[in-house]
A and B are shown apart, each in its own frame.
Chain A
């Protein structure tokens, strides 16, 4: 049996969009292996998420629902995911903070190899290998997993979000495995959520990112542009470190990796680790005072100009062009 298990990510009782990227992987991989894919949902009160997952073309939606699973902890989730995962050829999730925390532990429980943050699945007959970025995206490795079960996390921006397909999948309950002994020594204290009205960085069609040059006027300058375009806001590491932007806006090797249709890099010089997070964007626009900034080497359209004068004019002209 060569089937795929998708580990879903749930927030506030709803399926997160990260899940849909893992489902897209599963469709490719299942087709190559001549198998099917199932979606596993772990949590508390996840009935709605299960209904949503049932529309994604899976052979089955497996649900492990228990009050003890209300707040995610790898120590309580990993045993159940690994127990269910035993029956599958590939266990896949998305390389979000959730997936990156959970999946290596699942792999360790299964004695399986784990390929992180893959950008492509390559099928040669029934053998799957995984292409993944290394060195901040300056090299790609084709990873071969030598264990019977493969565990992988997919890069959200490299796998499009799966659309609903096929008949509604049956929803089955699965047993919640006993938590690890380590669970007794870890306590969930709080989740301090940063409220954001804009689209999520990983999912936005347009991203407007700013660098340290914006200083305290980061929001004042960029918010009108982001709102005009319905864009997500992003930031360079330097802007986050300096406190001009919230740290969850960081785009880069160690922040979010995005690949929108249109990416604005405003006052961003283009350090390697930032480029790693946005080089896959379809169209890149750079606005920077320094004409030699490395960002211009990856930009489709570069404008050497003072951003404080340029961005308001850009907002006005985009609004006029759309009128």
Chain B
């Protein structure tokens, strides 16, 4: 199986409360925050690795995992880290975030898919900076491929995948035939969430994503990484969604600590009047 995994570099999501909006409101200031791979994209990569191995021998790839990112030169770090974790090849589309929207990313990815011809595109359901949750859906539409979004489980079958989607009030199971797009949710990295045809159904993964060993980090420096331009992928780089300005969220007024349950109930009843 050949899998394409788009990865995005984002400002450290655990410190998202430290983003600042300048008085002019013309941008979101992330200076001083560390860069990390978008967590959902890391989960997508882990899923792709699980789909191309038998579980017991994670260094032997049964198939190919190609990672792609959209960003300036320094985002190659994100790609190298993915190569160290087990991906085979990497592509960087040279562009900055302010020149992109979900639609343009999807159109560029569609062009890359035409060239790379993967069986599956596995990607995070959303990036935790823009929280836009749309690229996978738009990509499936542009390609005319079936989509299983918000996947919590993936089981490879002959010629396709059986996907459990986390939706409101339960789980919808879909069967998609290759080629297809899958976007993944949090629980895709649980120990029994993803099985390739080769992986024994009794096999259990470690919870979460795998980490690269030092020799793999060294070896990753030799794996192929190519750069392409947006213009190589589409002649139309116009954005369909632009941001006029940014605002800080409304601040909550400081609360109080109560000393015991009696005081809490009294406040809720007589002050907040919510009981």
Contact = CB atoms under 8 A, between A and B. Distances in A.
11 contacts: A112-B240, A115-B241, A135-B16, A139-B19, A143-B243, A185-B180, A189-B174, A191-B172, A272-B16, A273-B13, A303-B260
Interface of A: 11, 73-75, 78, 96-98, 100-101, 103-105, 107-109, 111-117, 129, 131-147, 180-183, 185-194, 196, 200, 202, 206, 237, 241, 247-248, 253-254, 261-262, 271-273, 275, 279, 282-285, 291, 296, 298-305, 310, 313-314, 317-318, 321-322
A104 B125 CA distance: 12
Interface string B185-227: 1110010000000000000000000000000000000000000
Interface of B: 11, 13-17, 19, 21, 28, 40, 101-103, 106, 125-126, 128-134, 137-138, 140-142, 144-150, 152, 160, 162, 165-177, 180, 185-187, 190, 238-249, 252, 255-258, 260-262, 264-269, 272, 274-275
A191 B170 contact: yes
Nearest to A95: B133
A114 B102 CA distance: 8
A41 B223 CA distance: 51
Nearest to A314: B261
Contact of A138 (B132, B249, B256): B249
Contacts of B106: 108
| Residue among B19, B261, B275 with max Cβ neighbours from chain A (10 Å) | B261
A311 to B, nearest CB: 9
A142 B247 contact: yes
B265 A182 contact: no
A139 B246 contact: yes
Nearest to A294: B17
Given A100-B133, A134-B131, A272-B14, A194 B144 contact: no
| Residue among B19, B21, B137, B176 with max Cβ neighbours from chain A (10 Å) | B137
A137 B257 contact: no
Given A139-B21, A248-B166, A253-B128, A318 B265 contact: yes
A139 B19 CA distance: 8
Contacts of B125: 254
Contact of A134 (B129, B140, B264): B129
B170 A133 contact: no
A180 B132 contact: no
Given A190-B172, A303-B261, A322-B275, A146 B128 contact: no
B140 A182 contact: yes
B244 A136 contact: no
